Amino acid sequence: MRVKFWGVRGSTPTPERRNSRYGGNTACIEIRLADDTLIVLDCGSGLRALGKSLLGEYGDRPIQGYLFLTHFHWDHIQGIPFFLPLYKEGNTFLFHSVMRERSELEAAIEGQMANPYFPVDMSAMRALRHFFELAGERINIHGAILSSAQLNHPQGCVGYRLEAEGAIFVLATDTEPGSAFHDRSVRELARDADVFVYDAQFTPEQLAGEKKGWGHSTWAEGVRIAQECGVKRLVLFHHDPDSDDAYVDGLVDKARVDFPSTTGAAEGLEINLPGGEILGAPSLEGQERRTERRYHFELPVHVEWREATGETKQTEGLAQDISSSGIYFLAPQKIQGNQPVELELVLPDEITHRGELGIRFAATPVRQKQMNGSAGSVKRRVGVGARLKPAEKSSAASPGQPSGSPKK
């Protein structure tokens, strides 16, 4: 199964430059099974981007999804009115919550669109919507077994454990340690998990002081649970609105001292299970953070890479940003993740006055994100952040001479 993070923030969206690497959208995680079954855990503001991605992927084909809510606080449901597939006839979505009456679940979801909070009501949504109350039982979703457990959070919350295709994925967010019953529940969920996504909104110092009773946890408790329960990878989640990228980096670094297989949840982060391959994680997995000076420009770039099948692919893109360790460019299609690519920046004759000048780089993509086209643009594009290989990034062809890659 494939896990992708669309929203990782807690409490309220924070679309700010200081959060650009980890992201500012609230909780939303997509899980895809091998047969393409769509499972969504929480419907925070990250659900909006997931919806746009699904429409682009499915086109005119109907979409069916299983949506599971941990609880009804705003940061976990506020993406629902902006989830475009709900407005398309022929789609079907099955909403689930634990220990809530069906009428309460439906009212919580639809109530945020009631007058005077939203300009249209749920009647504008043409997709079929079904609502289910779970009583804590294990359920089977196309062969995947999902179970849940109560967590320690004001007004209640549940965590989810998904066992599918030889792997175990666990989400335990919005939970505060200190209750013996709930602490046992979290550990039962986390037992032998391949990926354990855990609430790390506060520091241990905050939790011991002014944040006690707010219903959230810390990186230190996540490490403790991961060590006790045989977790393979810990993912720190539900970042505080006031925690910028550098601050989250620091929490991840602290956690890695005692549990090296720790990652900070970031928008666009993908984890393939059971292998545990990580894709699209900005500033994670040992990547050098780009603190050096960046140069902004727009230049044609030729991109060449090798698919898993061995087939060589190439395309033309547009480079926009470079530093001594990384480059960012736009491409018309997704590139094989975590595989080396060959790039060639092309300085046109209008700049050199000596013919085209090609500058070659070797790089490895570390994050990819579907981009909206600019005004008047027809083609969809993918934004690619890549880490340059220092030993190979200085090759250049002589002005006016062929540089080894085709110019189109």
Residue 285 lies in a domain: no
Structural domain containing residue 195 = 2-279
**Strand 326-331 relative to strand 312-322: parallel, antiparallel, unpaired?**
antiparallel
What is the pLDDT, as a whole number, of residue 174? 97
Q: Which residue has the higher pLDDT, 105 or 398?
A: 105
Residue 376 above 70 pLDDT? Answer: no
Q: Collapse the DSSP code of 17 into the 3-class scheme (helix H, G, I; strand E, B; otherwise coil) and give the result.
A: helix
Q: What is the mean pLDDT of the chain?
A: 86
Note whether 245 and 300 are same-domain residues.
no
Note whether 95 and 225 are same-domain residues.
yes
What is the pLDDT, as a whole number, of residue 393? 40
CATH number of the domain to which 121 belongs: 3.60.15.10
Residue 131 lies in a domain: yes
What is the pLDDT, as a whole number, of residue 326? 85
**What is the value of pTM for the model shown?**
0.72
Arithmetic mean of pLDDT, 206-221: 96
As given in the structure block, the two tokens for residue 94 are: 């099955």
Q: Which residue has the higher pLDDT, 185 or 118?
A: 185
Note whether 188 and 311 are same-domain residues.
no
Arithmetic mean of pLDDT, 48-52: 97
What is the pLDDT, as a whole number, of residue 103? 65
Note whether 228 and 92 are same-domain residues.
yes
Q: CA dist 300 to 104, 321, 329, Å? A: 54, 12, 9
Q: What domain count does the chain have?
A: 2
Residue 284 above 60 pLDDT? Answer: no
Q: CA dist 60 to 48, 85, 93, 261, 345, Å? A: 19, 11, 16, 41, 37
Note whether 162 and 66 are same-domain residues.
yes
Residue 406 lies in a domain: no
Separation of alpha carbons 173 and 151, rounded Å: 8
Cα 382 → chain centroid: 15
Arithmetic mean of pLDDT, 216-224: 98
**pLDDT class for 371, splitting at 50, 70, 90?**
low
Note whether 190 and 307 are same-domain residues.
no
Residue 400 lies in a domain: no
Residue 208 above 50 pLDDT? Answer: yes
Residue 115 lies in a domain: yes
Note whether 247 and 128 are same-domain residues.
yes
Residue 22 lies in a domain: yes
What is the pLDDT, as a whole number, of residue 224? 98
What is the pLDDT, as a whole number, of residue 183? 97
Arithmetic mean of pLDDT, 57-64: 96
Residue 77 lies in a domain: yes
Note whether 325 and 271 are same-domain residues.
no
Three-class HEC string of 269-332: CEEECCCCEEECCCCCCCCCCCCCCCEEEEEEEEEEEECCCCCEEEEEEEEEEECCCEEEEEEC
Q: Which residue has the higher pLDDT, 174 or 378?
A: 174
Q: Which residue has the higher pLDDT, 347 or 240?
A: 240
Note whether 136 and 196 are same-domain residues.
yes
CATH number of the domain to which 324 belongs: 2.40.10.220
What is the pLDDT, as a whole number, of residue 202? 96
Separation of alpha carbons 237 and 217, rounded Å: 10
For residue 89, give the DSSP letter: T
**Amino acid identity at 359:** I
Q: Which residue has the higher pLDDT, 335 or 200?
A: 200
Note whether 387 and 250 are same-domain residues.
no
Note whether 133 and 17 are same-domain residues.
yes
The 10 Å Cβ neighbour count of residue 123 is 8
Note whether 269 and 341 are same-domain residues.
no
Of residues 171, 157, 40, the one with CA closest to residue 93? 40
Residue 407 above 80 pLDDT? Answer: no
Q: Which pLDDT tens digit goes with each residue over 247-280?
A: 999 999 999 999 999 999 999 999 999 988 887 6
Residue 270 lies in a domain: yes
**pLDDT class for 347, splitting at 50, 70, 90?**
confident
What is the pLDDT, as a whole number, of residue 390? 59
Q: Which pLDDT tens digit goes with each residue over 285-303?
A: 333 444 566 677 888 999 9
What is the pLDDT, as a whole number, of residue 367? 74
Helices (H) and strands (E) in the chain, counts: 7, 21
Q: Collapse the DSSP code of 363 into the 3-class scheme (helix H, G, I; strand E, B; otherwise coil) and give the result.
A: strand
**pLDDT class for 211, splitting at 50, 70, 90?**
very high
Q: What percent of the chain has pLDDT over 90?
A: 59
Final residue of a domain: which of 254, 279, 304? 279
The 10 Å Cβ neighbour count of residue 316 is 14
Separation of alpha carbons 29 and 41, rounded Å: 5
Cα 277 → chain centroid: 14
Separation of alpha carbons 343 and 333, rounded Å: 15
What is the pLDDT, as a whole number, of residue 351? 82
Residue 310 above 70 pLDDT? Answer: yes
